[in-house]
Amino acid sequence: MSKQILKSNKDQAEVTSSEDAIFDDIRPCRDDEAQEQLQIIANDESLVNGIVKLRYPILHKYLGPLIRYKVRSFIKSTVNNVHSIQDFQQLVAKAVVNMMNTTTDGVEFKGFDGFDPKKGYLFISNHRDISLDPTFVDFALHSNGFETVRIAMGDNLLKMPAANALMRLNKSFIVKRSINSMREKLKEINHLSQYIGLSMQEQHSIWIAQREGRAKDGYDRTEEAVLKMIYMYGRSKGLSFTEYMSSLNIVPVSITYEFDPNDLQKAHELHERALHDGKYQKSEFEDIKSIVKGIKGYKGRVCVIAGEPITSGFSTPTELAALIDKFIYSNYAFYPSVLIAAHKLGIAPNSAMENVKSEEIIKFMDRINAYPQELQERILQMYAAPYVSNQRVQKGEFDFVPIADPAEVPAEAAPSPAPDDAGADADSEAAPAAPAAETKA
């Protein structure tokens, strides 16, 4: 298997760089390709129409052609001044600053100032928002003078040409999740693992979500399949799981949003799955809408904390996953939304509310009460989940066994995370789960 992993199907030449042509199907675009991708964005009428409707929801009905012309002209003039990936990411950084100023009450970054600029790091974070999770990691690194990361991005998000171009310009590489053949899926997993491994050897940092699909129920849990996928390249080189994974400078990242702009949509999907035996059919551009809502929606306060690289203390995927989870659970920010929800469900004691102001209670409960009654308890559970997970860490119980549905478990039972299919969706940037027989460490 190792020879198959390390050889190109085209010419059987040894692959030694992430820049090899064998990775053209998944890699980010390069500087010399930037203008081509930017022109795709500039000429995408669906993007122009989407911006017009979002920015001018009423005015576009009366002055649509004029506004579209102005938006189209602005996009073209902007992209004509971009000549490299770095130029593009400077634009992204400005947009992120504007997003933080207009949709949050402040973003706190911790632990991002002590990295070695000569090393590559593998950032593994919990997964709550499709685009913002890696964006905040990128911004923290950029603000501290470090190179930004290569981002693992699911191919289901690339249905629109403009979205595809935007993500490739922002250093995203593709995780092919839409493949059904087991043989082809294994081939692509090997391909992906090799790309990540070679990128790390070249000191490129990587971001990947801890799981396939956002944790809609609020219970973040590292999927061992993601870790096994990453290890496949190390195994092809004859390294043990501990040896290879220790060499990757794995940095756990805990991300907390005081308010989730997509909380109602997530709860609706979970509700529909519960009613239809776990099945849920997404609309064509539902993921894109979630991205837009995540960016434009109010998030309250946000906290992003990076840990020290994990280089020891594990010998199996289970043990490494537990270390990542322990860090994430231990570093949640206990915003009022977390404490109020946990208290309302009878999970948190009265003492947890001592420093919560009455106006914060009113603000949060007004949000909850505005939602359909059949979804309110599920949304409360979503917000309370970090408190439950943190409490289990305090008790030394962080190696979780998933249960059928946290919503069915009484609050006092401190439920564990839902199974992969209960919270997983088609918006993940995480890697696809590999066949168990092929990914044993």
List, in order, residues 6 or more apart from 385 with CB less than 8 Å away. 215, 217, 218, 219, 220, 406
For the whole model, what pTM was predicted?
0.86
Residue 47 — pLDDT band, cuts 50, 70, 90? confident
Both tokens assigned to 424: 């997983």
**Three-state DSSP class for 153?**
strand
Residue 372: how many other CB atoms lie within 10 Å: 11
Q: Could you read off the pLDDT of 194-229 as tens digits, one per residue?
A: 999 999 999 999 999 999 889 999 999 999 999 999
Query: With bands split at pLDDT 50, 70 and 90, how would you rate the model's confidence at 45?
Result: confident
Backbone dihedral region for residue 316 (phi beyond 0: left; psi -120 to 50: alpha; all else: beta): beta
The tokens describing 440, both together, are 């044993």
Confidence band of 440 (pLDDT split at 50, 70, 90): very low
For residue 143, give both structure tokens: 């603000």
Residue type, 401: V
Residue type, 345: L
For residues 413 and 102, the model is more confident at 102
* pLDDT band for position 158 (cuts 50, 70, 90): confident
205 closest CA partner among 268, 122, 319, 301: 122
Q: For the segment 364-422, what is each residue's pLDDT rounded down to a tens digit? A: 999 999 999 999 999 999 999 999 999 989 888 765 444 333 333 333 333 333 333 33
pLDDT surpassing 70 at residue 6: no
**pLDDT tens string 23-36:** 999 999 999 999 99
Rounded distance, CA 253 to CA 401, Å?
Answer: 21
Helix axes 358-369, 336-344, angle to 10 degrees: 70
pLDDT of 234-282, one tens digit each? 999 999 999 999 999 999 999 999 999 999 999 999 999 999 988 888 8
Rounded CA separation 336/108 (Å): 16
